[in-house]
Homo-oligomer: A and B are copies of this chain.
């Protein structure tokens, strides 16, 4: 169901069949937790760390390798490729607007961006560092990082905690507002085409927005079973159920195949789709979702309208400067 933000909105819903007031634009800034207020210095340091392949065992994989800030915030691959060409079972979620996820990872196992940032670095098939102690030790050999951490956190402050805080602070700036959808909702009625508006109405009337709600269309904090309705054709083709989702973390049968509801923002840029990246096109993703989640067969025209609307969720990407990473004289990776 839509989040009904206030009595005023609730009354508006009652008094009119228009539910336009339920559509929310994307905020242009993200709130920060009390223990990690965003500062320019942290953002600058976080940007460096985020793009630094020296946070991986081989010196070849940075956060940006799989969550590419020059593209749609991921890698357009079914599964990302970590150190030594290894691949896992899940598709990299986009980093753009991740600040608006209530929880992180497909299974929501990280409560914050800070906690998420710590994970891939020591995952053996992702960035492959043996431990965060090793990461910290390596960073301490890089004089420029001593300086950048000091500027952001004070003297002798290189630590896992501060590194992940800086990365999270940077990620909170990765927001893509002013999509055609946002401009439409803000009052520019020419920002969406007639077909997109038709798709927007269908997304609501069909029930997509029951889960994909809120400004980032990610039902903030919501988990949902996927697939709800089993389908032998999709089962054979896409193997969605090979991954138990939340139950892989909680080991509870009732959590099997539950996943965090992912954002729909910039979805046109983030093929392939679903937790395992099994579906290559947005048309097919929409068709699959309607069938597995809503038990509905969409016509080609309905799919086309919805895809047109989803294309209207591509936001404006901020211009960024490229970080200049501090060098280590004599550093080498074997």
Q: Chain A: residues with CB nearer than 8 A to chain B?
A: 51-54, 58-60, 65, 68-72, 75-78, 81, 83-86, 268-269, 271-272, 277, 280-282, 311, 314, 317, 319-325, 327-334
Contact for A329 among B65, B271, B329, CB less than 8 A: B271
Instruction: Give the distance in Å from the alpha carbon of A84 to the alpha carbon of B268 in the complex.
Output: 27
Instruction: Give the distance in Å from the alpha carbon of A27 to the alpha carbon of B98 in the complex.
Output: 44
Question: Copy number of this protein in the oligomer?
Answer: 2
Which of A51, A54, A268, A271 has the most CB atoms of chain B within a 10 A radius of its CB? Answer: A271
Instruction: Give the distance in Å from the alpha carbon of A272 to the alpha carbon of B331 in the complex.
Output: 7
Q: Is there contact, CB below 8 Å, between A282 and B78?
A: no
Contact for A81 among B52, B60, B70, B272, CB less than 8 A: B60
Q: Is there contact, CB below 8 Å, between B280 and A330?
A: yes
Q: Is there contact, CB below 8 Å, between B70 and A329?
A: no
Q: Can you report 9 A-B residue pairs in the complex whose CB atoms are below 8 A from each other?
A: A51-B70, A59-B76, A60-B75, A60-B77, A60-B81, A69-B322, A77-B334, A83-B85, A321-B322
Question: Hey, which chain B residues are within 8 Å of A277, CB to CB?
Answer: 332
Given contacts A70-B323, A77-B332, A271-B331, 5 further A-B contacts (CB under 8 A): A60-B65, A84-B85, A271-B329, A282-B330, A322-B322
Which of A51, A71, A319 has the most CB atoms of chain B within a 10 A radius of its CB? Answer: A71
Q: Is there contact, CB below 8 Å, between B81 and A58?
A: yes
Q: Is there contact, CB below 8 Å, between A324 and B319?
A: yes
Q: How far is the CB of A128 from chain B (nearest CB, A)?
A: 11
Question: Hey, which chain B residues are within 8 Å of A332, CB to CB?
Answer: 76-78, 271-272, 277, 280
Question: Hey, which chain B residues are within 8 Å of A331, CB to CB?
Answer: 76, 271
Q: How far is the CB of A122 from chain B (nearest CB, A)?
A: 18
Q: Is there contact, CB below 8 Å, between A324 and B269?
A: no
Q: Which residue of B is nearest A58, CB measured? A: B81
Q: How far is the CB of A302 from chain B (nearest CB, A)?
A: 18
Q: A70-B324, A71-B325, A76-B54 in contact; A281/B330 too (CB < 8 A)? A: yes
Question: Hey, which chain B residues are within 8 Å of A86, CB to CB?
Answer: 85
Q: Is there contact, CB below 8 Å, between B317 and A329?
A: no
Instruction: Give the distance in Å from the alpha carbon of A282 to the alpha carbon of B329 in the complex.
Output: 8
Q: Is there contact, CB below 8 Å, between B77 and A58?
A: yes
Q: A319-B321, A332-B280 in contact; A71/B327 too (CB < 8 A)? A: yes
Q: Which residue of B is nearest A72, CB measured? A: B327
Q: How far is the CB of A61 from chain B (nearest CB, A)?
A: 9
Q: A77-B58, A331-B271, A333-B77 in contact; A322/B320 too (CB < 8 A)? A: yes
Q: How far is the CB of A58 from chain B (nearest CB, A)?
A: 6
Question: Hey, which chain B residues are within 8 Å of A272, CB to CB?
Answer: 332
Which of A52, A58, A86, A332 has the most CB atoms of chain B within a 10 A radius of its CB? Answer: A332
Contact for A334 among B71, B78, B311, B334, CB less than 8 A: B78
Q: How far is the CB of A252 from chain B (nearest CB, A)?
A: 33
Q: A77-B58, A322-B321 in contact; A268/B329 too (CB < 8 A)? A: yes
Q: How far is the CB of A42 from chain B (nearest CB, A)?
A: 18
Question: Hey, which chain B residues are within 8 Å of A325, CB to CB?
Answer: 68, 70-71
Q: How far is the CB of A39 from chain B (nearest CB, A)?
A: 21
Q: How far is the CB of A120 from chain B (nearest CB, A)?
A: 15
